[in-house]
Amino acid sequence: MSIEAFQTVGIDASLADAVLAAVQSVLGPAQQALPLHEPEFAGREWDYVKDCIDTGWVSSAGVYVDRFESDLAAVTGAKHAVAVVNGTAALHLALLLVGVRPGDEVIVPTLTFVATANAVAYCGAVPHFADASFATLALDADRLDQHLNYILESGGGRKINRLTGRPIAAVVVMHTFGHPAEIEKVIEVCARHDMPLVEDAAEALGSTWRGRHCGTFGTVGTLSFNGNKVVTTGGGGAVLTDDPTIGERAKHLSTTAKVAHPWLYMHDEIGFNYRLPNINAALGCAQLEQLPRFVAEKRRLAEAYATAFASIARVSFVHEPPDSCSNYWLNAILLDSSESLAMRDSVLERLNGANLMARPAWTLMHRLAPYVSAPRMADLSVSETIERTLINLPSSPRLARSLA
């Protein structure tokens, strides 16, 4: 992502005004609050949902679940897609599927939504926070490599964090705001350290790196279909994998580990009730039919923001990284790295006050109460700068349709 060179003119007091003017030059004045990302139901949603109600197949079995899974596999190129109740459940399963056990540590970016870290905790494991790169807003592969070289030692056939004595069982990379991470390098680092990679592609449906879909590079990938995502099922998620054994096991674990039988209730391990209901999958099937249009519109909107911010001093628009095609799930700007939290908040106030829903990045995971004493890289300063300077802008696909 080329963070454009910051221009030197402009004064602090005018920055919020300049940002507001740039956003309004794209979206026009907002009479009503413009959400960050709203769902759009312009396809066959009613038909498919009505079909579920008419036939009575609304719950955890039905044709739409199977169809949604095969549509997802077709769209992403994953060999297996297993639909679940949300992206957090998908992450929980993904971590179990790559072998995360209680007492392990899992490398997680500190710049992420809380679900990424929580899913690690649900396994009884401990998140170990790593820094981001400015180029992608995702894990910095080189620094991850250095960090693993520094902390890892082998023991009992596992890779041990010599500083805590706990095994490090996996790495989770997250494609921030839909922008692909430097995935090839992350894969290399994981391979060098013999670590499974889980890709949290919750935000990246429709995003590709060198033509390959996000979520299909790691041992397991996950998606979210929350109401704020590019495609929604109300609530929903999916596990993606090319490994047939992992695919089978994902389905088994998400369906209470029930052994297939015409009438017997037999469960061969502790499973989860994580299966996506048919009525949600029906919505998803109709939404997926519109994915190419959603992504095209979101990319047009991103282009308009990029143009509007190109001449604004001390602000840079966040572009997709090289070699990638982003869905631009949430458009973002970065204030100059010297700007304060107070300046970010004054820009946020200015935008929200003008009915434009703008949000900061997530509070970093290592600052959250449950994770303040979790292990981490000594230097998380890139994430801290991003946290202090990043602002997400309204990004619904429909906004592209009123562009000049």
Ligand X SMILES: Cc1ncc(COP(=O)(O)O)c(C=O)c1O
Those residues whose C-beta lies under 8 Å from the C-beta of residue 389, and which sit 6 or more positions away, are 334, 335, 336, 337, 339, 344
Q: Which is nearer to ligand X, 213 or 314 (CB)?
A: 213
Amino acid at position 49, single letter: V
Q: Is 316 in the site for ligand X (CB under 6 A)?
A: no
Taking CB under 6 A as the binding criterion, the range among 64-72, 80-88, 122-130, 158-166 that sits at the site for ligand X is 80-88
Q: Check: CB of residue 318 under 8 Å from CB of residue 1.
A: yes
Q: Which of residues 215-274 bind ligand X (CB under 6 A)?
A: 224, 226, 237
Q: Which of residues 99-138 bind ligand X (CB under 6 A)?
A: 112-113, 115-116
Residue 228, classed as helix, strand or coil, is coil
Q: Which is nearer to ligand X, 159 or 179 (CB)?
A: 179
Residue 239, classed as helix, strand or coil, is strand
Q: What is the DSSP string of 51-117?
A: HHHHHT--SS-SHHHHHHHHHHHHHH--SEEEEES-HHHHHHHHHHHTT--TT-EEEEESSS-HHHH
**Site size with ligand X, rule: CB under 6 A:** 15
Q: Is 202 in the site for ligand X (CB under 6 A)?
A: yes
Instruction: Name the residue with the smallest CB distance to ligand X.
Output: 87
Q: Which of 312, 298, 4, 321 is nearest to 137 (CA)?
A: 321
Q: Is 174 in the site for ligand X (CB under 6 A)?
A: yes
In the complex, minimum distance from the CB of residue 87 to ligand X, in angstroms, rounded to a whole number = 2
In the complex, minimum distance from the CB of residue 221 to ligand X, in angstroms, rounded to a whole number = 11
In the complex, minimum distance from the CB of residue 389 to ligand X, in angstroms, rounded to a whole number = 19
Rounded Cα–Cα distance for residues 77 and 73 (Å): 5
Q: Which is nearer to ligand X, 113 or 129 (CB)?
A: 113
In the complex, minimum distance from the CB of residue 321 to ligand X, in angstroms, rounded to a whole number = 17
Report the interface residues with ligand X, using CB under 6 A.
86-88, 91, 112-113, 115-116, 174, 200, 202-203, 224, 226, 237
